[in-house]
A and B are shown apart, each in its own frame.
Chain A
Amino acid sequence: MTVHLQTETEKVRAALAIAASRQFGAPAADLAAIEGLARQSGGASRQTWSFDAVVNSRREALILRRDPPTSGKTERERSVAIDRATEFHVLRAAHRAGVRAPEPLFELTAEDGLGEAYVMRRIEGTAIARKLLRDPPYAGAREKIASQLGEIAAAIHATDPATLPPLARREAADHIAGLRGSLDAMGLAQPVFELALGWLDRRKPSPLTRPVLVHGDYRTGNYLADETGVTAILDWELAHLGDPLEDLGWLCVKSWRFGAIDRPAAGFGTREQLWAAYERAGGGTVDRARAHWWEVFGTVHWGVICLTQAFKHLSGSIRSMEHAAIGRRAVEAEVDLLQLLKAA
């Protein structure tokens, strides 16, 4: 295993040296030096590598996003996750629109031999929920994060659609059909999820005349923050066009509070703080019933994701104790759904 990883790291290093030299204009005789190259944890199915490129005595702090050659994606994931090239162009449009996100720099080519991949600037901060929620250095940040996430969501949703690459448009009805399809594909009978999907189906919001850029996985764990609060929104691979309240509802799903259950907005604030910041930043009036609908939807979605992760292990596509164990978290979503439907 160690030998295999070593080979993989050296292959990535060699390809990055050539690509970074091309991008940053290194002289042919003096290739860019790739330092501190390390695979980062998180993002099980798609790779993220951290490294510095030293070119002409200048040090560039960078991140490589890359799809592994064989990844254990389910049919549903394959159908909703965007490819790396699309992700690069979404990130570029959002970054240029002023969204706090890493600046994408360049795409790798087929000749570089790393598969679908691009490089972006590395931003300081941590994405680890446990640290952000409990460690002393982040006490000040904790007061701000809910509002900052509302403001940044408004900026994401305001990205000019004309600057975006082609993206799938997904309405409430598509999402409901997707989750029912996932349950059917796994052959599972889940009365509580069916109850919630029926509730959602009968109340689904009408399609928007002007769908917006939706991040698609907007939650604690998918942004970086430091002592000042949020520094960058990460993980754009589920971006699509749709209802902006999808992002705000997902952010309030109980699992993303990481134990801080009395602070619904990402574990840091109230829903009202989140919505007020979103409205102040020009996101438009938040329809409360519609926001609740998306939180209920997000909760079913999370429950189905737990089962889907377990089935990756059970099907043999990814052999992983962690994937297997997460199947037993689906019932947490069932508990949350029964609470949410009572509150409705």
Chain B
Amino acid sequence: MAQDRPTAAELLNAVIDFLREEATPSLDHSDAGLGFQMRVAANALAILEREGRLGPAADAREHERLVKLLGHDGTLDELNRELARQLREGQRDERDGALMAHLEATVADKIAIANPKWK
């Protein structure tokens, strides 16, 4: 059975706005250390909100690229382990264009979730 509104993202955003606009300024006055912790908490919830929205499609794209790059199927974790092993053993390096395109795309999707402002 579907949940009622707000959706997960809407509810998370309501909590984030409350923490940033009401809880944090009040804490900054009474306890600067806790104010900082509250910013960390609000940022963590914002990551989860973006991950809920963008994560599944990003994971699917990463999986598809890894299957193509490595030439066989597997779980996302298995494929990343194999790629990491190949890089550790020197079987691939930064001169591999397909590898670099995959890593660029993967990191772009990850940073869009973890910290879209990072340049």
Contact = CB atoms under 8 A, between A and B. Distances in A.
Interface string A184-220: 0000011110110111001000000000000000000
A35 interface: no
A90 B94 CA distance: 40
Interface string B36-53: 010011011001000000
Interface string B89-119: 0101110000110011011001100110011
B115 to A, nearest CB: 6
A328 interface: yes
A325 interface: yes
B107 A334 contact: yes
Given A198-B93, A261-B119, A332 B83 contact: no
A329 B113 CA distance: 11
B115 A331 contact: yes
A272 B53 CA distance: 43
Task: Tell me which of B84, B85, B106, B115 has the highest count of chain A C-beta atoms within 10 A of its own C-beta.
Answer: B84
A341 interface: yes
Q: How large is the interface on A (under 10, 10 to 19, 20 to 34, 35 or more residues)?
A: 20 to 34
A187 to B, nearest CB: 10
B38 to A, nearest CB: 10
A168 to B, nearest CB: 25
A28 B93 CA distance: 69
B84 A338 contact: no
A259 B111 CA distance: 16
Given A321-B40, A325-B40, A341-B94, A335 B87 contact: no
Nearest to A328: B114
Interface in A294-334: 321-322, 324-325, 328-329, 331-332, 334
B71 interface: no
B110 A194 contact: no
A328 B116 CA distance: 12
B84 A190 contact: yes
Given A191-B83, A321-B40, A332-B118, A198 B88 contact: yes
Nearest to A195: B87
B77 interface: yes
Contact of A195 (B33, B43, B93, B111): B93
Contacts of B44: 321, 324-325, 328
Interface string B15-59: 000000000000000000100010011011001000000000000
Contact of A189 (B83, B110, B111): B83
Contact of B87 (A194, A321, A324, A332): A194
Contacts of B37: 321-322
A325 B93 contact: no
Given A41-B33, A198-B93, A331 B87 contact: no
Interface string A159-187: 00000000000000000000010000000
A325 B100 CA distance: 27
27 contacts: A180-B88, A189-B77, A189-B80, A189-B85, A190-B84, A191-B80, A191-B83, A197-B88, A198-B87, A198-B90, A199-B93, A202-B93, A261-B119, A321-B41, A325-B40, A325-B43, A328-B115, A329-B114, A329-B115, A331-B107, A331-B110, A331-B114, A331-B115, A335-B111, A335-B118, A338-B103, A341-B94
Given A194-B88, A321-B37, 13 more contacts: A189-B77, A189-B80, A191-B80, A191-B87, A191-B103, A192-B103, A325-B43, A328-B44, A328-B47, A329-B114, A331-B110, A332-B114, A332-B118
